[in-house]
Amino acid sequence: MKKWQFILASTAMTTVLIAPIAEASTYTVEKGDTLSKIAIKHNTTIALLKEWNNLQSDSIYIDQKLIVSKKQNTSNDTNSLAPSTQNTTTAIKPSATTAKISTYVVVKGDNLTKIASKNNTTVAKIMQWNGLTSDKIYMDQTLIIRKEELASTGPIVSLTGPSSSGTTGGSSVGTPSQDILNANQEIAAQLAKEKKIQTAPSMKNVEKYTDVIKLANSLLGTPYVYGGNSVDGFDCSGFVNYIYSNAGFNIPRKSSLDYFMNDTTIVANPVPGDVVFFKNTYIPTISHMGVYIGNNQFIHAGSSGVEVSNLSYEYWDMRFVAFKRFNVVK
């Protein structure tokens, strides 16, 4: 049975009327764009672009609409926040444009394709609305599955929900804090079992690593496809599997979590060609991987396709777990 959750004043279905309090300018992403280029072009910062557009990484895709500036209204009208030990009510002032948002709570067996099909939308839109960097999801996660622009001149609308639990309208929103704690313990236990590699790969495998990186760079811009393992599109583990296999390594096709737990060992001093793992990108445990290419950078299949990212970037730095090496690499 589907678990539906709509936010606002109805027992079964709720609608949120969200009125902007700032005038926003938008920009449509073009081929070759990065957040850095867009920020420079529009005299703003990457941090503000991420905040305005609810981005959780620096991944963007062609034709994506981004807010690139916000001008605050000078109206003397104010929004009110009514504190309570049980509930928090925020009064939102209406304007000419509002958004109707519908949400869905993920159940066992769901994936973004199924959810998109059920709700007459697309995977790309669900990922955009929810700031997802991958199309993998977890049970009890609350997803926006519809966002419609409406005209509204109605009264002020209140959003009410228990402030202590982080829920809205009395319905539970996925807050996997305990799951994250459990995942962290599992990851730490796995790394503690491994004998850290202190040496570099053999010269033969270093040469193969060179082929891995050359092939990876040749695939920059290849689109992201869930479960993808070909030049038509990749997901993160499919990308690693493809480039390693084509460089001569016998690497089975598995998930990033499976690679982390069963096929790799932590390294003390990573070299270009080793793999890097991340946690809590869409589920609390290991959920993303890429190939280290040196200079604190890695190449990976992100939500906008194959790209190079920097490990010092806050999003990746917060989710970094370890550099590892496939066990077949000696």
Number of helices (H), then strands (E), in the chain: 9, 16
Determine the length of the chain. 330
Token representation of residue 268: 């003390």
CA–CA distance, 87 with 63 (Å, rounded to integer)? 39
Token representation of residue 107: 């159940």
Annotated active-site residue 42? The verdict is no
Alpha carbon 150 to its chain centroid, in Å, reads 27
Among 300, 319, 324, 325, the one annotated catalytic = 300
Strands 264-266 vs 88-92: parallel, antiparallel or unpaired: unpaired
CA–CA distance, 290 with 211 (Å, rounded to integer)? 15
Four-residue CA torsion sign, 50, 273, 135, 141: negative
Q: Which residue has the tokens 């009890």?
A: 140
**Contact (CB, 8 A) for 10 and 96:** no
Among 136, 288, 324, 325, the one annotated catalytic = 288
Among 68, 216, 236, 329, the one annotated catalytic = 236
CB-based burial of residue 86 (10 Å sphere; 0-12 exposed, 13-18 middle, 19+ buried)?
Answer: exposed
> What single DSSP character describes residue 201?
P
**Contact (CB, 8 A) for 134 and 288:** yes
Annotated active-site residue 300? The verdict is yes
Alpha carbons within 13 angstroms on the beta-carbon side of residue 14 total: 22
CA–CA distance, 284 with 276 (Å, rounded to integer)? 17
The catalytic residue positions are 236, 288, 300
